[in-house]
A and B are shown apart, each in its own frame.
Chain A
Amino acid sequence: MEVRLTVNGTAHLLEVDPRRSLADALRLDLGLTGTKVGCNQGACGACTVLVDGTRVLSCLTLVCTLDDSEVLTVEGLADGDALHPLQEAFAAHRALQCGFCTPGQLMAAVAVLAEDVEATDEAVAEAMSGNLCRCGAYPGILRAIRQVQDSEAVD
């Protein structure tokens, strides 16, 4: 079936199997492999993307349900060479090791900034707990998000 989808600002018309997940559509049909599949069972958060501004698990989202939706993936965060403030902060705080969960962490973090999550370590940690990091780069991830959250509060 046909699905019209805007991904990172670019419109696509996809012919898909109704069983195809958004994650597989991004990775296999559109070649956007920045979105990772860590479990394909909704239990790790690595595949997190934004659909119409809301963070969802792309492995459990069927792409056929997204006709006329807007999807934002990690490839859409930077503006040309200029990284998103969260990407800058992740680098500065060494918020990654292997980098496999990083796209999902970043997309969840983008959502956290928009979700009105209380600017405390505890609230942000809870809001980020749907994204597992086996390397245990959690302290850096938390510091990075808190720094951007605080700097936005000042602005």
Chain B
Amino acid sequence: MTMESLAYERPATLAETLELLGRPGYTLLGGGTTLVDLMRLGVARPAGLVDARSVPELGGVVSSPDEWSLGGAVTMAEVLRHQTVCRELPALAESLALAASTQIRNMATLAGNLMQAPRCVFFRDVRTPCHRRDGGGACSALATDIAPRALLVDDDPCVAPALGDLGTAAVALDASVETVANGGTERMSVEELLRVPGPIPGNRLITRLVVPRRSGFSAFVKRRDRRSFAFGSASCAAWAAVEDGVVREVRVVVGAQSTRPRRLVAVEREVLGRALTTRTIESAARHALAGQDFRHGTDVEGEWHTATVRQALECVRERSRA
């Protein structure tokens, strides 16, 4: 199907949205910051665009005593304007504020950002093989020596880094998404959602991002060669619940140096039950590569990754002492 028959629909209700998304080749349009780009490159060739940004279920930032519920069509900028969310969830706010530019944050939606397509040059070129885009076959990035690739990988052949900062922060904050399909509403953790790259099985629509409101301290850090308007070369989000000076619960997640937001369980284990001191952080960060498949990385890159983890934990420590 080419785009020549491209339809544009702006449904008002969730039911209508689901009906439209059931049509062959129809796809959800959020801010368009990735989809329009990929359409122009011929990578995405939808038959219809479903602009669900005015569906009430996908909008709004609402809170209950236990959680924040952010609409999937809420823009990154809208969240950044929400002072309470930003105060309570610094890692989330930082992941949004450090992403892209104000113009893009004014357009891009939370659900779109979570499901962000890879930026890999081969994914974006329809005439070059790409395992991810083609749903199989070779990964062209592995055939070159210098293509940007994730350092921490799984068995999946795609080595494109997870550059969507929001996903990394969301996993650290133990966030979930609410998804809906004709079968009804479901909840799944963002960690699970992003475990395997690509669209959600069962054509499910993300309606909301749900973030628990738990007392703790969080931070998101990102390293890049340009100070602004750049993807990360490494990123880390960390969250810790601290009681009587001791870490009771902790989540440490890396993004840009990994194929997916990835919890570093070995690091978490070293921090758990200890006071968050510089020494604890130093020795915990040394486990940043423990149990990881690091076959594509160099020593310098390993140090860079480790230092990023240390930096995020240091930031959490500072906040826990403030």
Contacts and interface: CB of A to CB of B under 8 A. Distances in A.
Interface of A: 1, 17-19, 21, 40-42, 45, 48, 54-57, 60-62, 64-65, 67, 108, 111, 115, 125-127, 129-132
Contacts of A17: 6
Contacts of B6: 17-19
B102 A111 contact: yes
Interface in B102-135: 102-104, 106-107
Given A1-B8, A65-B32, A56 B103 contact: yes
B32 A61 contact: yes
A56 B227 CA distance: 21
Given A17-B6, A60-B36, A67-B10, 17 more contacts: A18-B8, A18-B49, A42-B33, A45-B103, A48-B103, A54-B106, A56-B107, A57-B33, A60-B31, A60-B104, A60-B107, A64-B8, A65-B8, A65-B51, A108-B102, A125-B228, A130-B104
Contact of B7 (A18, A62, A132): A18
A137 B51 CA distance: 38
Contacts of A18: 6-8, 49
A60 B39 CA distance: 10
Contacts of A126: 227-228
Nearest to A127: B102
A120 B23 CA distance: 50
B321 interface: no
Contact of A42 (B10, B29, B51, B104): B104
Interface string B25-42: 000010111001101100
Contact of A115 (B10, B32, B102): B102
A125 to B, nearest CB: 8
B101 A21 contact: no
B315 interface: no
Given A21-B36, A65-B32, A108 B8 contact: no
A56 B106 contact: yes
30 contacts: A17-B6, A19-B3, A40-B40, A41-B37, A42-B37, A45-B103, A54-B106, A55-B103, A57-B33, A57-B103, A60-B31, A60-B32, A60-B33, A60-B36, A60-B37, A60-B104, A62-B36, A65-B10, A65-B32, A65-B51, A108-B102, A108-B103, A125-B228, A126-B227, A129-B227, A129-B229, A130-B102, A130-B103, A130-B104, A132-B229
A19 B102 CA distance: 24
Contacts of B138: none
A127 B228 CA distance: 9
Nearest to A39: B37
Nearest to B124: A41
A57 B100 CA distance: 12
Given A1-B8, A18-B8, A42-B33, A57 B104 contact: yes
Nearest to A64: B8
Contacts of A42: 33, 37, 104
A65 B103 CA distance: 16
B277 to A, nearest CB: 31
Q: Which residue of B10, B40, B227 has the most chain A CB atoms within 10 A of its CB atom?
A: B40
What 3 pairs between A and B have smallest CB-CB spacing? A130-B101, A129-B228, A18-B8
A155 B164 CA distance: 41
A19 B103 CA distance: 20
Given A56-B103, A61-B107, A19 B39 contact: yes
B40 to A, nearest CB: 7
Contacts of B40: 40-41
Contacts of B228: 125-126, 129-130
A138 B267 CA distance: 42
Contacts of B51: 65
Interface string B62-86: 0000000000000001000000000
Contacts of B7: 18
A62 B36 CA distance: 8
